[in-house]
Amino acid sequence: MTVVLLSPHWAGNARIQRAANNNTPMRQHEPDRAAVKLLQEALIRSGFPMAAGADGAFGPQTASAVVAAEKHFGFTVDPGSAGREVIGALDLSLRGWKPPPGAHWGGLIATTILPLAQRKIGAALGALADVRTMLSFGKFDFVTADGVTMTALKTHFKLVPPGGTKLDREAFISLSTIDPLIANFRGIQRTLSNSHMIRHTVCSLGLDVAAEAPFGGPVSFGPPYSDFKFDPVDVTNIDKTGPNSLAAMMMHEATHVIDSLSGNDTTTHISEFTTAYETQNATNARHNPSAFATFAAHIDAREDRPRAQRFGLGEGRPF
């Protein structure tokens, strides 16, 4: 998937569409005057005027207007190149998107969610550390083990107490199954502690994508990572999203940064809102970003939520 412009103003222009995917951004001396004129008109309509108007010449005035747009939308400022971020934001603006002032979307709101995500990660690590301590001293006892932790391990990672029976998809709780979870949660924690890993932008996968992250990072947060609504939501994916759901999305994406196996849509990358999540095997669940985010939420709240209402982009989104 790539950025697809939907505003009738320029949706049919091939040069603008390529620039919206950074192939290549438009900058001073851009030869395609028709595309430049469309860009200038979009800037003017969105509140970034230039004295010469839309004349089709990408000179210093147009570059200055692009810089003004970058500042307004909170993007990193460059010499005035119009690529995925500026053109993507302008496309939304042309369709009526008007973010309220302040930290309400993208990486701006992500920075305000970090403490909540880190609290949940800390709770998960604490619960896993307790299990590990019991295993290390050879005194693992299902009766005295924390019941919430045992339920969460079975629900999200398909791990069950040793010594009993298990389903084929399950594995026993042991140092070899707990330690990889601890390692991943520590990696998620480190990722979110690094400010360079949090990027305020327009996602390369599309204007309707809230967040994305390749292995190694960074985590990019786009317009749909927001706490306000932009209709039609089924097109924009911009809707009121509560802090717990924003935190879940953040932890999910941070897992992609540190686990190279976490992005396989067939085996590991299974949504917590689906029945397939319930039947995923332990080998794959230990790499599932949804499992890490939902386990942390389960431990933090001391309970799971109904499948459809878990935090993220499901029915639990407003919370």
Tell me the one-letter amino acid at 244.
N
Closest to 254 (Cα-Cα) out of 210, 220, 305: 220
**Burial class for 187, CB neighbours closer than 10 Å (0-12, 13-18, 19+):** middle
| 73-77 long-range contacts, CB within 8 A, separation 24+ | 73/99, 74/106, 74/107, 74/108, 74/200, 75/200, 75/201
Q: In CATH, what number does 14-94 get? A: 1.10.101.10
**Burial class for 303, CB neighbours closer than 10 Å (0-12, 13-18, 19+):** exposed
CA distance 303 to 319: 15
Per-residue pLDDT reduced to its tens digit, 30-63: 999 999 999 999 999 999 999 999 999 999 999 9
Per-residue pLDDT reduced to its tens digit, 252-269: 999 999 999 999 999 999
| 225-230 long-range contacts, CB within 8 A, separation 24+ | 225/105, 225/106, 225/109, 225/110, 225/249, 226/99, 226/104, 226/105, 226/106, 226/109, 227/104, 227/105, 227/109, 228/99, 228/100, 228/104, 228/105, 230/92, 230/96, 230/97
Per-residue pLDDT reduced to its tens digit, 298-316: 999 999 999 999 999 999 9
Closest to 156 (Cα-Cα) out of 9, 17, 291: 291
- DSSP symbol at 220: E
Closest to 227 (Cα-Cα) out of 135, 317, 126: 317
In this prediction, residue 143 carries a pLDDT of 66
Q: Decide: 151 and 302 in contact? Cβ < 8 Å.
A: no
Where exactly are the structural domains of the chain? 14-94, 100-319
* Residue 297: both structure tokens together: 């939420």
pLDDT of residue 137 exceeding 90, the answer is no
Q: pTM value?
A: 0.95
Q: How confident is the model at residue 145 (pLDDT cuts 50, 70, 90)?
A: confident
CA distance 148 to 302: 6
The residue-averaged pLDDT of 86-92 equals: 99
- DSSP symbol at 206: -
The residue-averaged pLDDT of 198-223 equals: 99
The residue-averaged pLDDT of 177-181 equals: 99
CA distance 71 to 262: 34
